[in-house]
Every structure is written in C-alpha cells, then in structure tokens.
Structure 1
Amino acid sequence: MGGRMLILCWLVLLISVDDAAAAEVPRVLNIWPMPASVNYGDGRLHFSPELQLKTEGSRFDDGSGILEDAFSRTVDIIRGSHAVENNLPKIESSLALKGIHVVIASPSDELQHGINESYSLQVPAKGSPLYAHIEAETVYGALHALQTFSQLCHFDIKSRGILVHHVPLTIVDQPRFPYRGVLIDTSRHYQPLPMIKKVIDSMAYAKLNVLHWHIVDTQSFPLEIPSFPRLWDGAYSVSERYTFADAAEVVSYAKKRGINVLAEIDVPGHAQSWGVGYPSLWPSEDCKEPLDVSNEFTFKLIDGILSDFSKIFKYKFVHLGGDEVNTSCWETTPHVQKWLREKGMTGPEAYQYFVLRAQKIALSRGYEIINWEETFNNFGSKLDRRTIVHNWLGSNVAPAVVKAGLRCIVSNQDKWYLDHLDALWEGFYSNEPLTNISDPAQQALVLGGEVCLWGEHVDASDLEQTLWPRAAAAAERLWTPYAKIARRAEQVRQRLAYFRCLLTQRGVAAAPLVGFGRSAPVEPNSCYLQ
C-alpha cells in the first residue's frame, strides 16, 4: 500500500499547479526523438476547425500526393483521440491556427539512402492569418516536421478543441545517422499485411526510416517470386503468403511515410525452405542447407530473385545475409565433395566463393550489398569494397570494419535485439554506435543502426508490444545529436513514457516501460507512470 500511496502522491504532484490555465500546459517539451535545436515559449493556440495546407513558394508539386496524404494523416492522428463535438464556442481568429505553410526546395520525391531529411518548423504566437511554417529540402524532411508538429498538439478538455502548446516555437532539426532501421522477420511467423503497415506507421512516428524485411529463412518462403514460382511452396500454408503485388504495396506504403524497404534473402545458410519447391537446391535429403554451392542452378535462381526484386525494391541496398554457415555437410556430401576437390577448395573457402559470387550477382542487378558480420570476420579483405557489414555479434566489430575502410550498420545483439526480452529500454537508449571509433573519417562510415525483431516468438498477437517502446529508445540515439543525448537513460524516462502513451492513443500496442520487453502493466495506474 505504501508504494501505491507514493505513486499517487507523485501523480498529484505532476498535475498540481497554482491555477487552472497552467494545468493545461505540459511542463516538459514532450517531443520524441528530441530535435537538434529547439526554442519555445509558454503560449498556446487553438486549431481552426478547418486546418489548411498551404504550399505557395514550394518547388515540390506533390503530384504523387505524398505531402497531402501526410498532412491529412497528421490532422487525423491529432484529432483522433476524442470525438468531435458540434456547437462549440468560436475562437478569436488571432488565437486560432489556420493551417500549415510548407515550402519544399526539391521538386523530386525520390526516396533513397542519404537524402536530406532536415527541416525547420516555426509556430508563431500570434498573427492574422496565423500559420505554422515548415521549410525542408525534400518532402521527406517535411514529413518529419509534421510528425514533430503532431506531438505539440493536445486535446483541451475545456474547449473541446485542439491546442498547440509552447508557442512561439522554432525547431531546426536533422538526423544524426542516415540509416535508422527496424528488422521484422516474416519467416519464423507470418505477419499479415495490415500488421506490416502498422509497423511502418509507428516507425514514422519515431522517425525511423528503414524497414529491414527479413522475408525468408529456413522455416518458410512466403514471398512470390515470378521468375521461380515454386519457391513459395516453402510457405507455411497457402494463406500465409505474400504476392508480388503485396510486396510492391509494402514498398509504396512505406515510401509515402519516408521509409525505405531493405529486402533480405539470407544465403547460403538459413535457406532450407527454398528446396521445398526446388529440391535440387539441397545438397541432399540429409543435408538441406547451406544451398548447394556446386549446382549452377543455385546461382541462376539467386539471380532470378534479385532480378525480380529490382522491379519493386528500389532501395539501393539489398541484404544477402551470409551468417551462421556450417559447411560440414558440403564436405560430406559426395557430389559436393567431388566439386570441392575439383575446385581445390575447402568448405570454408567454398563459403567465401558463394558469398562473393552472390555479391557479384547483386551488383550486376544494380544493388550495393549488406552482409552479416561473419562474412567480414572470415574473409573481410575479399569482400567487395561496396559491402556494408551488419554488426550483430561482437562489440568490437564495428571499429574493425570502419578501420578496414568498409561501411557498417550496428545491431549488437546484447543491446538492440528486441527478441531478447531481458534487454531493457535503458540499454537500448544507452547503446552508442560510435563506441571506440574516434576518427571522424571512420565515424562517417557508420551509417547508423537497427533494432532487430526476430520472429521465433513473435507473431501478429505480440509484435507491437515487443517492438515498442524499446525501439523508440534506440530511435532517439540514432536521430538526436550526440551532445543532446542524455548521459543517463533515466533522465528521459518521463518523456519516453509520454511517447509510449502517445503510441497507445494512436492505436499502437506499446508495452509499459516497467519490466522486461512486452511486460503487462503491474497494477492500475496512469499511462504516464507505466
């Protein structure tokens, strides 16, 4: 009982103020991730009932509707937590925000790695007519600005309208790293298309910008490949499959939210499901992975997959896996053993041959390659110089990768693996991608990082609470300038709890901060104290 009384007193302290007006204004600037530069006041504005989008002066004509759709979504999520009431008192025009004026410098809506995602956001305290102002180099910077703006707005229980707090306000912002990813795994458990879209929506709220889609693995091959249609015979069932059009829809949906889709096929290991439709890919009935290195059809099929990928997955990178390869069955399968002797290769040398040949195929299809760190650990100097090494095992791998002149993505499993339910949000927040990398030229080779949601124990029933709010802790590490990152994770607990509650209000099943990943609430309490 004493603990409950302490929490109750804390809650009373948070909302007790000297006058009613002050009680309606959040005491803290609750934006997540924290912008690079913020200046704000203590005023507030009401929304006009007919909030407008203005684009005069912009070079971007929005022919694809990306900006207009994002503006409509922003207004919907701001208004979405309460019913709209009629016959409310009118707000004085000088205190009502009429709309948002967006000026975009680039006419292009191309989404690619390294695009300019910076923006500025200004909300004046008064004027007639009164508009918020967004300036961005690209439409995707403007989308981030709209996400930030949405977090400044709150439903006012007195007027039954929407208030914008902390005006006048000026924000100048840009991401720290160009690659800020989330991995989802649709092989260990199938994720329905609506759930993948929900993940994309929630990623945009936290300014994450790469959906790493680990599509296939040992257990299942759910994606249609038109060039080799029997591959998806390896799906769990006929209803647990993605058509090629489904994959194109994921890419299109993500682009409208400023998110690239990184497709992964993991070779030569983690590929047993491939042989359900094409058994010749298995070295033998007793040895079903790695894929048969001695069979030319193996590489013809990989080329067909990547050719089909190139029609819909327009991100410049493709992930070719390359991890956890055990070559012992190659060395004991008679026809592969014979091939190894003819080529003068050992099993490990054939592993290198396979990875490098797959890289060449991907390069011929216009992709740059990402491989898991085992490829670097085993034969790093032989990798194509355009390779990005995906660090997941060793804490000292990233410094070695960039010292060798290769690019790196950090996902060290002790901190940024979401399927590790004992990995707490504090560890996600404190994990620094540039640890032990002090040379600025080498730091620039770290593209960013990614939190990984492997699917052995994750399906549509528990994906969101496994992902959030821990992914948000990593999102601020990847977005906010290092100088603005809190030295102790506990310093941001209140703001992260606020963001977690915002996610739940938007229909995202984000777990409480307390306890391990996807823990249930401990007891009855305010959302902001869980």
Structure 2
Amino acid sequence: MLRFLTIFLITSVNVNCIYIVNPGPKYPPTKGEVWPKPQNEITELTYYTFDPLNFKVKVTNNTCDILISAIERYSYIVKSNKPQQDHRPVSVTERRQHARQAQTLQLGVLQELQVQLTEPCEEYPYLEMDEKYRLNVLAVSVLTSASVWGILRGLETFAQKFYISRDMNELRINTSVVVDFPEYAHRGLLLDTGRHYISVPNILLTLDAMTINKMNVFHWHIVDDQSFPYQSEKFPDLSSRLLIFYDSLYGAYHASMVYTKNDIARIVEYARLRGIRVLPEFDVPGHTRSWGNAYPNILTSCYHENEVVGLGPMNPIRNITYKMIRDLYHEVQAWFPDKHLHIGGDEVRKLCWRSNPEIREYMQKNGLKVEELHALFMQNTIPLLADGSKIVVWQDVFDENVPLTSDTLIQVWKDEWIHEMVKVLKTGHRVLFSSSWYLNYLQDEWPMLYMADPRRMVRDETDNNTLPAGVIGGEACMWGEKVDDRNVISSVWPRASAVAERLWSAPTLGETSPRPEVYQRIEEHVCRMNRRGIAAQPASGPGFCLV
C-alpha cells in the first residue's frame, strides 16, 4: 500500500509540473488595433472593405506642404497593405461563416477620407504643439484637427486601423470613432552618433519608426569623446583629418563618417514633414575629448605626479574655450531651427580640473571649490547661445546649483530618480524623464520599460496631484557603445514602442505588468513596423509576420 501511494504521489507531481505548449503564436496578434493606444476609441464589429481604385482623400479646408506630403505618404502606405492569399484548402464551414459575416457585418466599400484642418498650418513642430485629432471611420470617413500636427497623428491612426481579413482576401477597416491626444508633450528618442556613426539612411529610418509610434522629438547626441562627426563650416578641423607628429587623427572616425550641412538639412526637413522636432545636443564641458584633436588648448591637461597624462574636460578658465563654444553654438542653432538646444553638462571629470596647476591656482585665487567651477562654467556658457534660445540640460547641472531660467528643461537620468524629479519640480523647473528608459541596457525588455510612468511615480511619492504635471515628457535613450548601423534599428524597436505608448496613452492605474491585450497589440504593431521597412525584433516569443 505504501509503495502504491508513493508511486501515485510522484505521478501526480509530474503531471502537475508538465509544461504544455500549444501550436501557434505565443500571443496571437490583434487586427486593426492602434499603437500607441488612443485616449478614447469606440470600435464596432461592422467594417468596410478597401478598394484602392475606388478610394480618395479629400482636403476640405486648409492645406500646406506638410499636409500634401503626408497624404501622399499615407496613401501609399495603405495601398501597400495588399492581401496575401493563403492557398490552403478552406472548409465548407469556414466558407459559410465568412459569407454569413459578410452579410451581417460588412457595410460596403470605404469611399473617401475627408481631411479637415480647421486652422492654418504651422511651419515647424515645437514643444507643446497641439496634436489632438478626431477620426470618424465610416463609408465617408472624416479626420479633423485644429493643427497640422494633429492631422499627422490622425493619419497614422487611420493607416493602422486597416487589417487583412482572416481568409487573406480583403483589406478591412472597422467602423470607429477616435478622439485622441498625447498624455505628455515631449516624447523623445535619443540617438548617440558619437560612439558609433549611424548613417543618414538609418537616421531617416529611425524617424519613420518614430512617426509610426507618434514620437515627436529626435534628440540627436551627435558628438562625444570618441568622435566628432558634425562637419562644421566655421571649424572644419573638428571633424577633418589632421597630421600630428606624423600620426593621422580624425575628429570623425573617418572622412566618410561625417554629417554635412546638407545631411543635417535633409534630416531636419524629413523630421519636420513628420511632425518631429530635431533637438541637437553638443555636450559641454565633459564628453568633449574629440574636440581636442584639432583644438587641444580648449581642453584641460590632466596631471598625475606633475606629469601630463592626457586631456580632460574643457578648460573653464580660458577665454578661447568660450569663444569657440559661442561660435560653434551659433552655427549649430542656424542649422537646427528648434528653439531648444541641449548643452549637456553631465559626467564632468572634476579630478582632472583639480589636478591641473593652472586651474588650482585660479580656484585658490578666487576662493572656489571644484564643484563651483562646474557651475561657473555653465553660467558662462548659457549666455553664449543665440537670442531667444531655450536650453535643456542633464540633471547634473541642476544638482550643481547652477542658476537656470525657469524655462530650462532638466533631464533626469541617474539613480534615485523619483527623489530627483520631486526636488526639481519643487523649484518650478520642468522635467524630462529618462532614468528607466536606457535602451543601451540591451537585456531590458519592453514590458519593464512599459510600466515606468514618471507622473505616477511623483504622484505616489508625494500624494500631490498638481506637481506631476511638471513632468512634460521623457526620452528613450539609445547610447551607442554597443550599437552601430547593423543593429541599431532592431535594438531600439519595439522596446522604444513601449516608451512611446507610455508617453502618449492614458496612465496605468494600479497595474504592475502589461495586460494580455497589450502583448497581443504589440505583436500586431511589430509586424506593422516590419511591413513598413522597420526591422523591429520579435516582441514576446514565437509567432510570425507576413511582410
């Protein structure tokens, strides 16, 4: 009896531990569901079929080059969604089911999309632009917005609502009403092109992916210690080849790995037509070693035991440093039309400053600590920007108690980010959040990124319902140490899509992980991105995508 009982118990344990795997995708994708999820959406089971020969887009009010370009682009995208027939035999039951569905749910053929832009177009996107829109999907569909930026977001939603029928024979769109707007004004992606050069075609592809995800700020961390790929007209030697003691050096990695004035104009225009701001970052006084290949005198000589061991941050006590910053920033601001310029201010190697005899003497003479030297540098730099400029800085500048104008945006990126956000917000400054969204941590998967909601963090910490509004947005940051032209797209997407939805859609309340619906919707979205040329990696496990 005991032997029988033991065998029975072991068998029961084994049965309970069996892992069952069913055929098919781990998360079956949705059909015609939008990413990022709209704020308000009613979708019915009834649908219209799409025939490209019998469909047109009609602009009924204001128009401009941005709108004309967008209509051409989205017309092509929708018409590219061609059904791909599955030639496997279909059962009689399935045919009857399809016929019954067509009789009861199909309302006819989609005839027209009317685009109603009720106010004149604006030329360039900007912080806190109006992106609200309303979309009614009927036989004659209507997209309405007071802003061309809202029209762009609505056209993306319209394109995403199309799906291929289960029998693969029809392109459909369901009857629906969408009233939508973003939760956060600044929804950005930082791309680092200083550690690894990213080609212009891949930057344009990144802008396409941002458009699909309704992100509106391309934060271009264009130069860093390792290379200076920005090809300046005022200071061409910053990126050009130099001969120093018979060694060939480049500010850029190679003569072909530079961004010319024409490249920048092309990227800025490509972004403008998609409602994306291009926010350039030229980080000072740290992360500037590549500047020193051509201009070593603007950097600090670092000492060890009275010997120079290399170059460090910019020299904060030399006039030539500030003159060069001023002239370069004025050129940069002439080439980038956005009012904001990111001037960095993070990770300054203060030990190098402390080691330098010239700087030590200056600090002694003026009664300064090395931390105060960083503040002095930033105080001297900020007035050098063009008139009317607005700045963005990393939190290090705020932490060093640098006097900043009230409209300066503070980008929070370090640990203890909730405490930091609260501290910044209580001074009246506004916050951009990035701490939880560092994409260079390649092991971090999209569900973890998805659940980080900065306003919710502040609200839960302070029990204050007004303070969180000062968090005006955030950025996913793709630092370039481990990504280059070959893997940058698949490393960013769809993980940045999780950040995009968190910044656009209504906040999570009381949830600790994404709902099953989100897993299914991101499966459809990843396939959608792949169909549109974005090589996004699989989101959550086994599945398939017909491209």
Taking structure 1 as the reference length, the TM-score comes to: 0.86
2: CA distance, partners of 1:443 / 1:10? 39
Instruction: Note closer, same or farther for the CA distance 1:226–1:9 as it changes in structure 2 (3 Å cut).
Output: closer
Equivalent AA in structure 1 for residue 275 of structure 2: G
Correspondence for 1:21: none
Alignment of 1:372-387 (within 5 A): 372-379=394-401, 382-387=403-408
Q: CA deviation at 1:31?
A: 1.1
Instruction: Note closer, same or farther for the CA distance 1:485–1:183 as it changes in structure 2 (3 Å cut).
Output: farther
Unaligned runs of 5+ in 1: 15-25, 86-90, 125-129, 515-520
* 1:79–1:162 CA contact under 8 A, matched in 2: no
**Of 98, 101, 108, which aligns to 1:95?**
108
1: CA distance, partners of 2:502 / 2:25? 28
**Of 17, 22, 25, which aligns to 1:7?**
22
**Of 357, 363, 368, which aligns to 1:345?**
368
* 2:445–2:495 CA contact under 8 A, matched in 1: yes
Instruction: Note closer, same or farther for the CA distance 1:290–1:161 as it changes in structure 2 (3 Å cut).
Output: same
Equivalent AA in structure 2 for residue 332 of structure 1: S
1: CA distance, partners of 2:113 / 2:162? 13
2: CA distance, partners of 1:157 / 1:78? 18
CA shift digits 1:292-346 (9 cap, x unpaired): 1121111111111221122121222111111111222222223333333343322
Correspondence for 1:117: 131
Q: CA deviation at 1:448?
A: 0.7
CA shift digits 1:362-414 (9 cap, x unpaired): 3x44221111111122215x3333321100013221111101111110001xx
Q: CA deviation at 1:9?
A: 6.2
Correspondence for 2:119: 106
Instruction: Kindly indicate whether residue 314 of structure 2 is the aligned counterpart of residue 288 of structure 1.
Output: no
1: CA distance, partners of 2:536 / 2:313? 37
In terms of Rg, which structure is larger? 2
Correspondence for 1:469: 494
* 2:131–2:153 CA contact under 8 A, matched in 1: yes
Instruction: Note closer, same or farther for the CA distance 1:469–1:159 as it changes in structure 2 (3 Å cut).
Output: closer
2: CA distance, partners of 1:365 / 1:231? 25
Percent identity between the aligned chains?
A: 32
Correspondence for 2:439: 418
Correspondence for 1:368: 390
**Of 32, 36, 44, which aligns to 1:33?**
36
Equivalent AA in structure 1 for residue 355 of structure 2: T
Equivalent AA in structure 2 for residue 180 of structure 1: R
CA shift digits 1:86-127 (9 cap, x unpaired): xxxxx9997222221111122132311111000000011xxx
Equivalent AA in structure 1 for residue 496 of structure 2: A
Q: CA deviation at 1:27?
A: 6.3
CA shift digits 1:182-205 (9 cap, x unpaired): 000000000000000000000010
* 1:36–1:484 CA contact under 8 A, matched in 2: no
Instruction: Note closer, same or farther for the CA distance 1:186–1:27 as it changes in structure 2 (3 Å cut).
Output: closer
Correspondence for 1:148: 157
**Of 238, 253, 266, which aligns to 2:255?**
238
1: CA distance, partners of 2:382 / 2:365? 23
1: CA distance, partners of 2:533 / 2:291? 36
Instruction: Note closer, same or farther for the CA distance 1:95–1:4 as it changes in structure 2 (3 Å cut).
Output: farther
Instruction: Kindly indicate whether residue 500 of structure 2 is the aligned counterpart of residue 496 of structure 1.
Output: no
Bigger CA drift: 336-345 or 231-240? 336-345
Correspondence for 2:412: 391
CA shift digits 1:500-526 (9 cap, x unpaired): 121112221111223xxxxxx7x6x43
**Of 40, 52, 63, which aligns to 2:56?**
52
Residue 312 of structure 2 aligns to a residue in which SS?
coil
2: CA distance, partners of 1:287 / 1:331? 14
Instruction: Note closer, same or farther for the CA distance 1:158–1:253 as it changes in structure 2 (3 Å cut).
Output: same
Equivalent AA in structure 2 for residue 391 of structure 1: V
* 1:392–1:411 CA contact under 8 A, matched in 2: yes
Alignment of 1:141-220 (within 5 A): 141-156=150-165, 160-164=169-173, 166-167=174-175, 169-220=176-227
Correspondence for 1:137: 146
1: CA distance, partners of 2:109 / 2:81? 20
Equivalent AA in structure 2 for residue 148 of structure 1: T
Correspondence for 1:277: 294
Alignment of 1:378-527 (within 5 A): 378-379=400-401, 382-393=403-414, 394-395=416-417, 396-412=419-435, 415-434=436-455, 435-437=457-459, 438-482=463-507, 488-491=513-516, 492-514=518-540, 525-527=543-545
Equivalent AA in structure 1 for residue 154 of structure 2: A
1: CA distance, partners of 2:20 / 2:78? 33
* 1:310–1:365 CA contact under 8 A, matched in 2: no
**Larger RCO of the pair (alpha carbons < 8 Å, separation 6+):** 2
2: CA distance, partners of 1:159 / 1:112? 42
Equivalent AA in structure 2 for residue 466 of structure 1: S
Bigger CA drift: 346-355 or 447-456? 346-355
Taking structure 2 as the reference length, the TM-score comes to: 0.83
Equivalent AA in structure 1 for residue 271 of structure 2: A
Q: CA deviation at 1:83?
A: 8.0
2: CA distance, partners of 1:479 / 1:187? 29
Instruction: Note closer, same or farther for the CA distance 1:315–1:46 as it changes in structure 2 (3 Å cut).
Output: same
Instruction: Note closer, same or farther for the CA distance 1:34–1:83 as it changes in structure 2 (3 Å cut).
Output: closer
Correspondence for 2:230: 223
Instruction: Note closer, same or farther for the CA distance 1:425–1:117 as it changes in structure 2 (3 Å cut).
Output: same
* 2:31–2:163 CA contact under 8 A, matched in 1: no
Equivalent AA in structure 2 for residue 274 of structure 1: W
1: CA distance, partners of 2:509 / 2:263? 40
Unaligned runs of 5+ in 2: 1-16, 86-101, 241-250, 302-307
What's the Cα RMSD here? 2.6
Bigger CA drift: 484-493 or 452-461? 484-493
1: CA distance, partners of 2:51 / 2:18? 44
2: CA distance, partners of 1:100 / 1:467? 33
Q: For this pair of structures, how many residues does the alignment match?
A: 487
CA shift digits 1:413-470 (9 cap, x unpaired): xx31001012121111100111123434422211111100000001011111111111
2: CA distance, partners of 1:152 / 1:230? 50
Residue 283 of structure 1 aligns to a residue in which SS?
strand
Correspondence for 1:22: none
Equivalent AA in structure 2 for residue 122 of structure 1: N
Residue 8 of structure 1 aligns to a residue in which SS?
coil
2: CA distance, partners of 1:320 / 1:465? 29
2: CA distance, partners of 1:365 / 1:199? 31
* 1:405–1:442 CA contact under 8 A, matched in 2: no
